[in-house]
Amino acid sequence: MRVALQITCVNDAMFPDTGKAVVRLLRRLGVEVDFPAAQTCCSQPMVNTGYLDEAVPVVRAYVDAFSGYDAVVTPSGSCAGSVRHQHALVARRSGDPGLVAAVADTSPRAYELSEFLVDVLGVVDVGAYFPHRVTYHPTCHSLRMLGVGDRPQQLLENVRGIELVDLPHATECCGFGGTFALKNADTSVAMGADKARHVRDTGAEVLVAGDNSCLMHIGGMLSRQRAGVRVMHLAEILAATA
Amino acid sequence: MSARDEILAKVRSALDGVEPAYAVPPAPRVPDRGDLAALFVERVEDYRAVVTRCAAPDLAGVVAQVLDGARAVVPPGLDLDLPGAVTDDGFTAYELDRFDAVVTRARVGIAETGTIVLDHAPDQGRRAISLVPDLHVCIVDAGQVVADVPDAIALLDPARPLTWISGPSATSDIELDRVEGVHGPRTLHVVLVS
Amino acid sequence: MSGTFVGMPAFPTAAREALGDTQLRRNLAHATRTIRDKRAKVVAEVEEWEELRLAGAGVKEAALRDLATHLETLEDSLTRAGATVHWARDAEEACAIVASVTKAQGADEVVKVKSMATQEIGLNEALEADGIAAWETDLAELIVQLGEDLPSHILVPAIHRNRAEIREIFRRRMGAVGRPAPDGLSDEPAALAGAAREHLREKFLRAKVAVSGANFAVADTGTLVVVESEGNGRMCLTLPEVLISVVGIEKVVATWADLDPMLRLLPRSSTGERMNPYTSTWSGVTPGDGPQEVHVVLLDNGRTRALADDVGRQALRCIRCSACLNVCPVYERVGGHAYGSVYPGPIGAILNPLLNGVTDPQTASLPYASTLCGACFEVCPVRIDIPSVLVDQRAAVVDSHRDDRIPKPEAVAMKGAAWTFSSARRLARAEQASGLAGRVLGRFSRTTLPGGQAAAGRLPGPAAGWTSARDLPAPPAESFRAWWLRTNGGTDGGQDGGGS
Ligand code: SF4
């Protein structure tokens, strides 16, 4: 099985440690991932802002980078969702039957990390050790767009030493929403403030999620509030060992 | 072009190239819930309506007891001897407003939702009489109770005016706090006859 | 005597004002949470809910796809049942029809059943201009009307008001238009409902003309359906001599049997009940029972525009249950007024642009009033994929500016991003630059983000929207891409990605 890592533009530029954690984790599980150097971005920033024409060359770049792989794994529910649900739309807009066909081929092979681990590799115990009090925020796109269900929780429950606590109102959006965070900054912050409060209420040391964009938003609130709660990507906890 | 023709033309052009035939997935049926009369009673009571069960021979007595002397109007086709009750004679709304109660039968009861449907046949009377008085005593035959909404829809005749009643009138318009009793009858008393 | 949405600012500005109103936020949070929980409970009771949603979506979709046929059938059935059918291209035509039917009765007032269509067309204001008083009889509508306020929710238009505010409105305003509120009126919901009952009773009893909408219009039988709770609907549909129903053309379902999934879906989604207290159906005129003159106004007012939109068409399936408002995290915090329309919340964010186009800046701001979290789609009883339509309407907004002589800064930025993101080489160069910026920012920042990453504090320029309340991690010195290249995927020198 040829497996590629789609790092995502945000992780590439802002959170390289998450990518390193994915590589470490998969290697431990016996999976050697490629990093196709031609990859850039899933096109979601353009699509979700309404710039469909602008998204076309970006989707083309994705298809060029990842065609030929059996599976593309990405540490972002949002980007996996964009590949699986939005690429077809962008391809249709391009009017290029070649791109439509290429997207139909690559899109279904995109997996969010927890999907890849549980569904493709068939593991829920990845041999991690993380002796901390942790609460999990299911991000909207993993939950509702991809339907990852409780896969992340299954993985976390099998981490040794972890104390997993429920996040109140967990399924409520954190208020990030891509450009929403800037276009509607006041509403975004109001939502983030509630999410940060729920996180603090758990008494957790660490907030974990499958998307660094949402974590950047919630973490940014927690940091400003000097809340003393760390935010970590799911991959980083799963990669941790004794 | 008339408004009618223009709207229809716009509809047609909007749907140009859209396949008009569309297969509607069938609506699912509820699983068998066992004793329908019992479920009906439970669900009607959930709306804070009052339910009395009785046998057919006791009906007149039970209804008289429920009315407890209230000034009642009844539809012309109500086949029940109720001393003091006045048969509807085409009363105006103002005249109906002077009655305390109304007694009607029903066309169908729906167990799953605790709903009674009136089709305003002569034993139920025209719509106004079961609306204006503050107490509605509604007689439902146990044999009239069906399992769920689709069963009721299949039985009912859409050419007749229909009133579906699920508990007393209610509102949640103030802080989403449910309050029984606004404009329709504030008390619904269902007599289930078996 | 009511407010107007005309001239409302764009969503972000209106939202900011609403967010500053702590009383409003408390009222909304309480109300939306209550109704959400109620809905969740009665929906969980239906094991086959997802199949029911599919059936409901199917019924409406089928009706829309052959709408012209169904409308002609409906007209025919209604006429045969003794109703008079009118057609209205827009709000103005619809209002004129209602006014002329009312005047023909010599009436100078109408009682109204709560109806979104008549709010949409501004019927009350149009009638008032024509010397006809329109009395709203739904409790929440009455609160809005007496308070000279604007509706902020589809189902509970006064959701933004709490009991104390409502008591004040009743005490101050009822007397001017009819029976005053009783002395010593308390703020108990039961007492307030009682005051409304007394106030409206005389209006119901004397009314000659009623105006309603319809939740559904059944084509093959000519049946209109009104779903309600209080009995004000029954009063209006039964007691007056003349009934005028304003019905959007998308309310059609093909057959009587089609009402089945709809009547199971609507109450549970809307008020969170197994069934709403009252549903009335009528087919034209019934001799000796109810209004003896029945008019139906079939309304377009932008619906054919929405119908022509291949992605947006599904918005016309909407049965106005308001479940999407109640679960929407944006609506919950800013309320309905910020949307500047009688259709607020997620459905409003797509319906208003679909009905009216995106030429005016206020409407154009609505598709962006969402994080695309998808909670609305999850609860919608007719499975409207609101997030997808939102994205599509954003594209409509962007496309409407493609020919601007001076492009918006955002368009320039997006073009730049597309240019960078269509080549990995260009992206790598951009990352080098941001890494440099990160080193600079990191040096100036006083805070570090949890996890140890340097954080940028308050920044000027476009980033200010972010950093006014949130720290921003400073970009790391080395991107993942650069690290992979330098360490050969972490295999050289046991760096990071190697074993641990
Ligand atoms: S869009 Fe769906 S959930 Fe929202 S009001 Fe309409 S039917 Fe209800």
Q: Do C156 and B173 touch (CB under 8 A)?
A: yes
Q: Do C189 and B110 touch (CB under 8 A)?
A: no
> Total domain count for chain C?
2
Measured between CA atoms, how close is C442 to chain A, in angstroms? Answer: 13
CA distance C31 to C21: 16
Nearest Cα to Cα of residue B76 among B102, B115, B98: B102
Residue A224's pLDDT is what? 87
Neighboring chain C residues of A180 at a CB cutoff of 8 Å: 368, 370-372
Contact C95, C89 (CB under 8 A): no
Taking CA atoms only, the protein residue closest to ligand 1 atom 3 is C380
Nearest Cα to Cα of residue A11 among A41, A52, A53: A41
Q: Are C413 and C301 in the same domain?
A: no
Complete domains list, chain B, with CATH: 34-193 (3.40.50.10420)
Q: What is the arithmetic mean of pLDDT over B152-170?
A: 96
Q: Which residue of C has its CA nearest to A185?
A: C465
C-alpha angle with apex B162: C255 to B98, nearest 5 degrees? Answer: 160
* Residue C58 resides in a domain: yes
Q: Do C234 and B131 touch (CB under 8 A)?
A: yes
Does ligand 1 have an atom closer than 6 angstroms to the CB of C380?
yes
> Of C257, C275, C305, which one is at a domain's C-terminal end?
C305
Taking CA atoms only, the protein residue closest to ligand 1 atom 6 is C318
Centre a 10 Å sphere on the Cβ of residue C75 and count the other Cβ atoms it contains.
19
Tell me, what amino acid is at C243?
A: L
* Residue C43 resides in a domain: yes
Contact A94, A62 (CB under 8 A): no
Domain assignment of residue C111, given as a range: 11-305
* Residue C88 resides in a domain: yes
pLDDT tens figures, A222-238 = 988 888 899 999 999 99
- C260 CB contacts (<8 Å, ≥6 apart)? B27, B149, B150, B153
C-alpha angle with apex C360: C358 to C362, nearest 5 degrees? Answer: 95
Q: Do B148 and C52 touch (CB under 8 A)?
A: no
Contact C97, C88 (CB under 8 A): yes
> Of C276, C305, C334, which one is at a domain's C-terminal end?
C305
| Among the partner residues A12, A86, A191, nearest to C481 by beta-carbon distance | A12
Measured between CA atoms, how close is A36 to chain C, in angstroms? Answer: 10
Residue C499's pLDDT is what? 42
Nearest Cα to Cα of residue C75 among C364, C297, C406, C316: C297
Q: Are C48 and C190 in the same domain?
A: yes
Taking CA atoms only, the protein residue closest to ligand 1 atom 4 is C324
The helix or strand, by DSSP H or E, that contains position C210, with its residue range, turns out to be strand C209-212
Distance from the CA of C341 to the center of ligand 1, in angstroms? Answer: 16
Atom of ligand 1 nearest to the CA of C315: 1
Which runs of E-coded beta strand occur in C258-407? 278-283, 293-299
Q: Which residue of B has its CA nearest to C78?
A: B159
What is residue B104's DSSP assignment?
E
Q: Are C281 and C418 in the same domain?
A: no
Alpha-carbon distances, residue C7 vs C17, C308, C362 (angstroms): 15, 28, 9
Contact B103, B67 (CB under 8 A): yes
Nearest Cα to Cα of residue B82 among B60, B97, B104, B101: B60
B76, C79, C130, C178 alpha-carbon torsion, rounded to 10°: 20
Q: Are C106 and C226 in the same domain?
A: yes
| Among the partner residues C371, C447, C475, nearest to A173 by beta-carbon distance | C371
Measured between CA atoms, how close is A93 to chain C, in angstroms? Answer: 11
Phi, psi angle pair for C126, to nearest 5° = -65, -40
Give DSSP secondary structure letters for C63-97.
Answer: HHHTHHHHHHHHHHHHHHTTPEEEEESSHHHHHHH
pLDDT tens-place values along chain C, 500 residues long = 446 777 778 999 999 999 999 888 888 999 999 999 999 999 999 999 999 999 999 999 999 999 999 999 999 999 999 999 999 999 999 999 999 999 999 999 999 999 999 999 999 999 999 999 999 999 999 999 999 999 999 998 998 999 999 999 999 999 999 999 999 999 999 999 999 999 999 999 999 999 999 999 999 999 999 999 999 999 999 999 999 999 999 999 999 999 999 999 999 999 999 999 999 999 999 999 999 999 999 999 999 999 999 999 999 999 999 999 999 999 999 999 999 999 999 999 999 999 999 999 999 999 999 999 999 999 999 999 999 999 999 999 999 998 888 888 888 888 888 888 888 888 888 888 777 766 666 655 545 565 556 666 676 666 677 888 888 888 888 999 999 999 999 888 554 544 44
CA distance C72 to C81: 14
Residue C188's pLDDT is what? 94
Sole residue written with tokens 């940091």: A223
* Residue C357 resides in a domain: no
Residue C48's pLDDT is what? 95
Q: Do B174 and C166 touch (CB under 8 A)?
A: yes
CA distance C308 to C406: 30
Atom of ligand 1 nearest to the CA of C347: 1
Residue C497's pLDDT is what? 46
Neighboring chain A residues of C498 at a CB cutoff of 8 Å: 24, 27
Residue A154: pLDDT band with limits 50, 70, 90: very high
What the block records as the tokens of A200 is 């603090």
Q: Do C278 and B46 touch (CB under 8 A)?
A: no
| Among the partner residues C11, C394, C422, nearest to A57 by beta-carbon distance | C422
pLDDT tens figures, A9-47 = 999 999 999 999 999 999 999 999 999 999 999 999 999
Nearest Cα to Cα of residue C125 among C155, C95, C102: C95
Name residues 230-269 of chain C within 8 A of B (Cβ): 230-232, 234-235, 237-239, 249, 256-261, 263-264, 267
Nearest Cα to Cα of residue C383 among C63, C116, C50, C154: C50
CA distance C108 to C127: 9
pLDDT tens figures, A105-129 = 999 999 999 999 999 999 999 999 9
Q: Are C291 and C420 in the same domain?
A: no
Neighboring chain C residues of A241 at a CB cutoff of 8 Å: 500
* Residue C100 resides in a domain: yes
Centre a 10 Å sphere on the Cβ of residue B23 and count the other Cβ atoms it contains.
8
Atom of ligand 1 nearest to the CA of C154: 5
CA distance C237 to C81: 16
User: B174 and chain C: CB distance < 8 Å anywhere?
Assistant: yes
Instruction: Give the end-to-end CA distance of chain B in Å, rounded to a whole number.
Output: 61
Distance from the CA of B14 to the center of ligand 1, in angstroms? Answer: 22
Residue C500's pLDDT is what? 40
> Of C305, C331, C352, which one is at a domain's C-terminal end?
C305
Size of interface A-C (CB pairs under 8 A): 238
Neighboring chain C residues of B161 at a CB cutoff of 8 Å: 280-283, 286, 289-290
Atom of ligand 1 nearest to the CA of C383: 2
What the block records as the tokens of A18 is 């998450």
CATH number at residue C87: 3.40.50.10420
Distance from the CA of A67 to the center of ligand 1, in angstroms? Answer: 39
Does ligand 1 have an atom closer than 6 angstroms to the CB of C324?
yes
Q: Are C421 and C288 in the same domain?
A: no
Residue B180's pLDDT is what? 87
Nearest Cα to Cα of residue A235 among A210, A214, A205, A206: A210
**Does residue A165 register a pLDDT over 80?**
yes
Tell me, what amino acid is at C249?
A: I
3-state secondary structure of B141: strand
Name residues 266-295 of chain C within 8 A of B (Cβ): 267, 271, 273-283, 286, 288-290
Atom of ligand 1 nearest to the CA of C322: 5
| Among the partner residues B4, B31, B176, nearest to C47 by beta-carbon distance | B31
Alpha-carbon distances, residue C367 vs C28, C150, C335, C386 (angstroms): 22, 21, 16, 10
